[in-house]
Amino acid sequence: MIIGIANQKGGVGKTTTAVSLACGLAEQGRKVLLIDSDPQGNASSSLGVNRTELEFSLYDALIDERPLNEVTLDSGRPNLYLVPAKVELAGAEAELSAASHNRPEGKPAFRLKSVLAPVADEYEFILIDCPPTLGQLTINALSAADGVIIPIQCEYLALEGLTQLKNTIDMIVSGLNPKLQIFGIVMTMYDGRTRLALDVVEEVKQYFPEQIFNTVVPRSVRLSEAPSYGRSIFEYDPSSRGALAYRALSREVEQRALAIA
């Protein structure tokens, strides 16, 4: 199953969710490929990859048509593989955007799908960490995906921009990828001591009762610290509230995927 992790709002725990889910599913014995599709490369560095030392990245697969297995790294963790990103990927955004204007039939939107096709059956889960924009890299990810997971921060204006993302998903369903669906919504940075957090969760449940996950990810310093050490939360503090939450979310994702299959 191919799942994009997307939200154009920054600071909602998107990359933390992508990395933690990838590591959690791999920990459960699933073979996982994590694709870092964000030019900032935070998913790559969160797994301890030094981006300045990379020979190849997702850019080489998307733009130079290098086979994906040639740019895929073994993460050093059982069952987990990574297609890394580095700053050059920002150039791919511009090149794909230019190509989309020159080829209005939409073929540039399928670049990632074409790249994934030869290896898709090798993995049980392919997770794509999308940029915090609705540009060509995100459109490529959602055009290739079976579903999208949307992290939403448990704070004021949490639903801001969600309508725009939903409109983008609807556009992709109607024009590029009819099978795409909202696989799930995960509430992040939850602080149960505040009435606001409770209200935000209830509001999202009201609008997306079937899509919202039962697991709520708490606000956690340990989750914020782990990437700076190049370690997943399960490696950095396996008994922390953040680790327990993402382990539970990984089980939910696995169960939901099995139910769909």
Looking at every residue in the chain, the average pLDDT score rounds to 91
* β-sheet bridge partners, residue 185: 150, 212
Q: Convert the pLDDT of each residue in 110-152 to its tens digit.
A: 999 999 999 999 999 999 999 998 889 999 999 999 999 999 9
pLDDT mean over 168-190: 94
pLDDT higher than threshold 70 for residue 237: yes
pTM of the full structure: 0.94
Phi, psi dihedrals of residue 228, rounded to the nearest 5°? -70, -15
Our count of domains for the chain comes to 1
Helix (H) or strand (E) holding 215: strand 212-218
Assign residue 183 the CATH number of its domain: 3.40.50.300
The residue count of the chain comes to: 261
Which residues are within 8 A (CB) of 25 and not within 5 positions of it... i.e. 6 or more apart?
Answer: 32, 79, 124, 125, 127, 250, 253, 254
Least confident range of 18-27, 52-61, 90-99, 231-240: 90-99
Classify strands 73-77 and 80-83 as parallel, antiparallel or unpaired: antiparallel
Domain that holds residue 180: 2-260
Which of these ranges, 56-60, 80-84, 160-164, 168-172, has the smallest mean pLDDT? Answer: 160-164
Query: Could you tell me if 153 and 185 are in contact, meaning their C-beta atoms sit under 8 angstroms apart?
Result: no
The DSSP H or E segment spanning 121 is: none
- Amino acid at the residue 72: T
